[in-house]
Amino acid sequence: MKEKDLKTIVREKYGRIAAHADALSGQSGCCSGSGCCGPAYTTFNENYEELAGYAADADLGLGCGLPTEFAGLKPGQSVLDLGSGAGNDCFVARAIVGESGWVTGLDFSDEMLERARKNAKKLGHLNVDFIAGDIDEMPLDNDRFDVVLSNCVLNLVPDKTKAFSEVFRVLKPGGHFCISDVVLQGELPDALKTDAEMYAGCVSGALSHEEYMEKIGQAGFSNIRVHKVRQIEIPKEIFYKYLSVEAYHQFNKEGRGIFSLTISADKPAV
């Protein structure tokens, strides 16, 4: 698929998720029974409910980690959340940076932006804003943010080299990012790679762990550190749509599989 087509698929899919979220309130994950997406959307998320700033209306169950837990956020900082969705990570970050800080959410889904802005208004947050834009071409100034966050989104960007380059550009010298994302150990079967539904479900857009690390280093980041690695158990019925039982078991041998990775790196101060 062309990059433009992949972006359209992701934008439309997550727009439908945002539109269905109210009807699915209180159910397990954002998509239960809705037909707007499959189990791949609901198997990655970690529990935010005990974190300060948590807002249930902003939690659509679409993350794959807790980047705010490892981001080293401090009062007064300026924070950017990439692929901010309904605002979940933004509101948790805002609870840490406080009234003296500022949190910006970037998303390219109009429906998600609308939900996030409504949530911020309902919560009375005046130092959280949400703007429209693509991660690989952000409408933001250079050297603007102390910290960049993202939760299970960069794997959806077709050109990850441009994405990490943009993250580097908008960070202040001495700033850092903390990202939770999906990576692979071993090659993903071609049938999964080429399926648009799985792409929008965060699986087939993922890089190998090694390639992901290389992209970060190539963008100019230093002091790369991995905080957490967690294997993601994709329901067998998803794999069996594309693979035989024998091929599925072969895929899971020798540590192969799909993993959630939470990682940080620094933009050099000079």
pLDDT in tens, 198-250: 655 666 678 899 999 999 999 999 999 999 999 887 777 777 887 888 888 88
Confidence of residue 193 (pLDDT cuts 50, 70, 90): low
User: Biggest alpha carbon distance in the chain?
Assistant: 56
Higher pLDDT, 238 or 24: 238
239 vs 190: CA distance, rounded Å:
12
Provide the angle, in degrees to the nearest 10, between the axes of the packed helices 110-123 and 3-20: 40
pLDDT in tens, 62-76: 888 999 999 999 999
Q: What are phi and psi of 90, to 5 degrees?
A: -60, -45
- Res. 131: pLDDT tops 80: yes
Higher pLDDT, 46 or 29: 46
C-alpha Rg value of the chain to the nearest Å: 18
159 vs 217: CA distance, rounded Å:
15
7 vs 253: CA distance, rounded Å:
32
**What number is the average pLDDT over the span 21-35?**
43
- Res. 56: pLDDT tops 50: yes
Percentage above 70 pLDDT, the chain: 84
Structure letter (DSSP) for residue 240: T
203 vs 198: CA distance, rounded Å:
6
